[in-house]
Amino acid sequence: MKLTLHEVAHVVGATNDLSDVEDVPLHQIEFDSRKIGPGDLFLPLKGARDGHDFIETAFANGAIATFTEKVLETDKPYLLVEDALKAFQDLAAYYLERTGVDVIAVTGSNGKTTTKDMIYDILSTTYKTYKTQGNYNNEIGLPYTALHMPDDTEKIVLEMGQDHLGDIKLLSEIAKPRIAVVTLIGEAHLEFFGSRDKIAEGKMQILDGMGEDGILIAPADVIIEPFIPEDQMVIRFGDMAELHLIDLVEEKDSLSFKPNFMDRTISLPVPGKYNATNALVAAYVGRLSAVEDEGIVEALAHLNLTRNRTEWKKAANGADILSDVYNANPTAMRLILETFSAIPRNAGGQKIAVLADMKELGDTKDQLHVAMIDSLDPAVLDAVYLYGPDIQPLYEKALEKFPSGSVSYFTKTDEMDQLDALIIAIKASLKPTDQILLKGSNSMNLAKVVEELEHI
């Protein structure tokens, strides 16, 4: 981070007098006092604990200065501001603009982390590239990412998360992206938005910080025109859209396709048509960024994806586990069921689906869970396990569609959690030749089921 103390003070409008304080270079900015090292700037944020309570600890660990919203009785340098988080965000916006780094922003109800990783791998073949680490995609994580990028960064890929209307607007105005990607507009966080149109409106706020020459890449299956400027450059992707897949071939743990804008076949070491779509978009971002086709193909063939997304694992007894337990919404659940259903079954093996609650769906949760029945085919799935209070209406519907004994339900309440019973039931029936899919919201802890199956 190439910033000095006085420069930061000027950018954030610190109100205390620093004329007698030496203008020293700063190393990093940290909001966790335990991570502070010599030369760092401390950022005291208000959470479960007030970060101001840890200012002395930060100084003891080597902080050269601190932000503060209170006048301090100390001889150590500090920057007095009205709102430390706002100062942090203003500093990140300034730093991105000052460095001139090329910003690519990615958001979406599903697939944003995978697409971010794909874009990063492609751009890294040609440029010094940095990306959002982990889930640092909110009002704290995005500015933290910007201020922690290496000094020689040429392109930065920033993931933008959304829980409420206005979240993306803030992040876009900090980042000012040149290219903005919206991977999918589904029903994630419907509880907070009320409708898919409101979710689309929130996602389109990714344009609010974009310049006139910016490019939006968005899915073709949703109406976004009411939420974007008339002269906005928009590239749509999807079946029969401006960007689309050709010759898609899906295998158990890989796939291949041709983008309609490249005379090359792209191979991915992951399953799922939705991943082919993510790769299609990432490849186009590479094209817009002057990456050679060979680099695009090579990068996608050797992906380094964030863990806990869709991945094949092995049960201890040899059964194939398709784990997709990081998060869930109706669109994502339909897509993974579509992928799982299309994969040829193992000789002599069964196909088993384990589905848990999709959270944050608001008043529509019952109907959205029940709607999953259209993606559950008894001709394909031999057994279905359902877990959680919200998914119970789907269980009632599945009993009408599936043969007796092939659908099981396990509850989760404050008084009783049947997760262990679910694990026992699956272990008792899972054979070495079986294939089993697990999908649900992260809070439902299906990751524990996966872990238990790996150690039968």
> Residue 153 annotated as binding?
no
CA distances in angstroms from 426 to 324, 327, 421, listed in the order given:
17, 21, 9
Buried b / exposed e across 238-276, counting CB within 10 Å, b at 16+? beeeebbbeeeebebeebebbbeebeeebebebbbbbbb
Give just the sign of the alpha carbon dihedral 430, 436, 441, 446.
positive
> Residue 109 annotated as binding?
yes
> Residue 110 annotated as binding?
yes
Inter-axis angle of helices 167-175 and 141-148, to 10 degrees? 10
Helix runs in 14-69, H state only:
55-60
Place of tokens 């490249």: 262
- Distance CA(62)–CA(203), nearest Å, equals 40
Buried b / exposed e across 58-83, counting CB within 10 Å, b at 16+? bbebebbbbbbbeeeeeeebbbbbee
> Residue 51 annotated as binding?
no
- Distance CA(9)–CA(6), nearest Å, equals 5
> Residue 108 annotated as binding?
yes
Place of tokens 């709102």: 83
79: β partners: 67
- Distance CA(148)–CA(246), nearest Å, equals 39
Residues annotated in a binding site: 108-114
Residues annotated in a binding site for ATP: 108-114
